[in-house]
């Protein structure tokens, strides 16, 4: 539940002796967005939760239980999961092994959903499996349709928006540890990023 996630984040922030503003500044979001997440009003995306957890000095796995790694997955066996009771649904498709740096999930983004702008270390690749999606990188929007892709430096402020009336599905591949299996990564602070 979103309220449980918010409560865990708030307790972790207080244990770290951080204010809402300090977490917001370090993660690169607005204070209002962090407050809404803690109160269960807003649900962060997987990458945004990862950024907040990093500021709190915790792996994402403290706040979110995700499917375990498997070398191969069949579509019928994959588990769909969400951050809290958020709108985005995820299916893990990458495995974890010694030396691996690539993570990947299938993301199902509902009509009208807009992700908060974010930036962090690493790189990302989006490949649209079904539907249409607007991807904005450094303020430049690009509409991607089925079969289209984009690959970019994750340090650039980026977000997605499903501007249609149909669910959009995309393959997300990146180097950010969205599963909380590695050591905590540094957070890339970006003053231009805003959330909420």
The two three-digit tokens of residue 169, written as one number: 């599905």
Instruction: Give the per-residue pLDDT at 3.
Output: 65
118 backbone dihedrals φ, ψ, rounded to 5°: -150, 155
The per-residue pLDDT of the chain, averaged, comes to: 87
Distance from chain centroid for Cα 42: 13
pLDDT at residue 31 in the model: 93
- The mean pLDDT value for 118-144 works out to 95
At the topology level of CATH, where does 2-62 sit? 434 Repressor (Amino-terminal Domain) (1.10.260)
Tokens 């149909």 correspond to what residue? 166
Per CATH, the number for 75-174 is: 2.60.120.10
Examine domains 2-62 and 75-174 and report if their fold is the same: no
Residue-level pLDDT at 189: 42
DSSP for 149-163, written as a single string: EEEEETTS-EEEE--
Q: Which range is least confidently modeled, 4-18, 32-46, 181-195? A: 181-195
Distance CA 19, CA 36 (A): 14
Question: Domain ranges in the chain?
Answer: 2-62, 75-174
């Amino acid at each position: 539940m979103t309220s449980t996630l918010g409560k865990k984040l708030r307790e972790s922030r207080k244990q770290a002796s951080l204010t809402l503003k300090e977490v917001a500044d370090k993660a690169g979001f607005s204070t209002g967005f962090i407050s809404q997440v803690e109160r269960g009003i807003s649900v962060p995306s997987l990458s945004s939760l990862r950024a907040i957890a990093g500021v709190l000095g915790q792996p994402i796995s403290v706040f979110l239980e995700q499917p375990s790694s498997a070398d191969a997955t069949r579509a019928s066996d994959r588990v769909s999961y969400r951050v809290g009771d958020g709108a985005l649904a995820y299916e893990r498709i990458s495995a974890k092994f010694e030396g691996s740096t690539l993570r990947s999930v299938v993301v199902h983004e509902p009509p009208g959903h807009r992700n908060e702008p974010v930036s962090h270390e690493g790189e990302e690749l989006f490949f649209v499996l079904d539907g249409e999606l607007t991807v904005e990188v450094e303020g430049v929007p690009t509409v991607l349709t089925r079969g289209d892709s984009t690959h970019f430096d994750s340090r650039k402020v980026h977000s997605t928006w499903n501007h249609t009336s149909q669910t959009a599905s995309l393959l997300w591949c990146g180097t950010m540890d969205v599963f909380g299996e590695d050591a905590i990564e540094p957070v890339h602070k970006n003053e231009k990023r805003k959330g909420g």
